[in-house]
Amino acid sequence: MAQVIDGRAMARALSDETAARVAALVDRTGQPPALAVVLVGDDPASHVYVRRKISESRRVGITSIEHRLPVDCPQTELLALIDALNADAGVHGILIQLPLPAGIDAALVLDRIDPAKDVDGFHPVNVGRLSTGTGGLVPCTPLGIMKLLDSVIEDYRGLNAVVIGKSNIVGKPVAMLLLEREATVTVTHIETLNLPDIARKADIIVAAAGAPNLVRGYWVRPGAIVIDVGINRITRDDGSTQIVGDCATHELDHAKAVTPVPGGVGPMTIACLLSNTVLAAEKSEDA
Ligand SMILES: Nc1nc(=O)c2c([nH]1)NC[C@@H]1CN(c3ccc(C(=O)N[C@@H](CCC(=O)O)C(=O)O)cc3)C=[N+]21
């Protein structure tokens, strides 16, 4: 049987550490870290995620401030809000929930965030720092993936890592982090030919394609480690809905370790958002 990596337990442990850092910060400065969460429009999944981010923030002592804007909000209004949050010394982290409504230029919006407050790590300055390995805030999902992998891997050197998906929020940044550990990294995507053959060479598979049951048992070599980043809401025959990942997990008994969905990468993403927020607040102390 493959080891099932418990993302909920690891997230809890990380958040306990974060809570201790928050308490120490409050002792030093008299002020808790503050996270601004900006939600534009009424995507139901985004609402669920934002609720969870805010309640987890409170649990560790981070003050979270939610800003809701209507779906037809003019871009200039969103940019003005970001300017105000950038200028507010009491705000340490800014998160713009994605996806943004059509008609808003997401790249322009992310460019506007002060890189020091960019707890998602999506600003070009942080993307650049990640690619040169020179500090900066690291995107939450890739950071969480590395912590999950670190629980089962000591030394990445010489390992083959195959990343499925080339998104800016998961595929590309996790490839950079794996490269930094000196794994041999292959990034694949929707146009990749012979994906099963490429995956079969992997010691580490990171599946972030957004396609349920994409990664089948025969794609995975015995002893490989499989990180399932997918969050797919599917409707069963009886009409009920279920969250599944990108991997046919029931076919992966021969893997060394797998992450479950739910309870794997998702909870770690939120725990890393909180640790990034405290990191941003700690760094602002010396500024
Ligand atoms: N600016 C921005 N930053 C993000 O980090 C960001 C975003 N926008 N937009 C959407 C995606 C998605 N995302 C998730 C976070 C937690 C779970 C999570 O906690 N999932 C649970 C429950 C799954 C469920 O029941 O929905 C689990 O996997 O166990 C899932 C997905 C963050 N994202």
CATH number of domain containing 189: 3.40.50.720
Domain enclosing residue 256, as ranges:
140-266
Residue 234 lies in a domain: yes
Asked whether residue 63 is assigned to any structural domain, the reply reads yes
| Cβ partners under 8 Å of residue 2, min gap 6 | 226, 252, 253, 254, 255, 256, 257, 258
Residue 4: inside a domain: no
Q: What is the pLDDT of residue 152?
A: 98
**What is the per-residue pLDDT for 29?**
96
Asked whether residue 43 is domain-assigned, the answer is yes
**What pLDDT is recorded for position 97?**
97
In a domain, 253, yes or no: yes
Which CATH number covers residue 54?
3.40.50.10860
Whole-prediction pTM value?
0.97
- Which residue of the set 117, 118, 120, 228 is catalytic? 120
Closest ligand 1 atom, residue 267 Cα: 19
Residue 132 covered by a domain: no
Gap from CA of 142 to ligand 1 centroid (Å): 12
Same domain, 221 and 161: yes
Q: Is residue 133 part of a domain?
A: no
Number of domains in the chain: 2
For residues 175 and 261, membership in a common domain is answered with yes
- Give me the interface pTM, i.e. the ipTM: 0.95
Asked if residue 193 and residue 105 are part of one domain, the reply reads no
pLDDT 10s digit of each residue in the chain, 287 long? 999 999 999 999 999 999 999 999 999 999 999 999 999 999 999 999 999 999 999 999 999 999 999 999 999 999 999 999 999 999 999 999 999 999 999 999 999 999 999 999 999 999 999 999 999 999 999 999 999 999 999 999 999 999 999 999 999 999 999 999 999 999 999 999 999 999 999 999 999 999 999 999 999 999 999 999 999 999 999 999 999 999 999 999 999 999 999 999 999 999 999 999 999 999 999 77
Q: 169 and 99, same structural domain? A: no
Q: Are residues 258 and 176 part of one domain?
A: yes
Within this chain, do residues 58 and 144 fall inside the same structural domain, yes or no?
no
Pocket test for ligand 1, best of 37, 43, 49 (most atoms within 8 A of CB): 49
**In a shared domain, residues 152 and 239:** yes
Render pLDDT for 145-183 as a digit per residue (tens, 0 to 9): 999 999 999 999 999 999 999 999 999 999 999 999 999
- Residue 147 and residue 42 in one domain: no
Name all residues whose Cβ lies below 6 A of ligand 1: 48-49, 52, 95-98, 120, 140, 231, 243, 261-263, 266-267, 269-270
Task: Looking at the structure, tell me whether residues 106 and 168 fall in a common domain.
Answer: no
Shared domain check, 174 and 107: no
217 with 256, same domain: the answer is: yes
Task: Confirm or deny that 167 is annotated as ligand binding.
Answer: yes
Q: Do 91 and 160 share a domain, yes or no?
A: no
pLDDT computed for residue 286 by the predictor? 76
pLDDT for position 211: 97
* Contacts with 148 (C-beta within 8 Å, 6 or more apart), sequence order: 5, 7, 10, 227, 259, 264, 265, 268
Question: In the prediction, which pLDDT does 151 show?
Answer: 98
Shortest-distance atom of ligand 1 to CA 45: 26
Cα(215) to centroid of ligand 1, in Å? 20
Task: Give me the pLDDT at residue 105, please.
Answer: 98
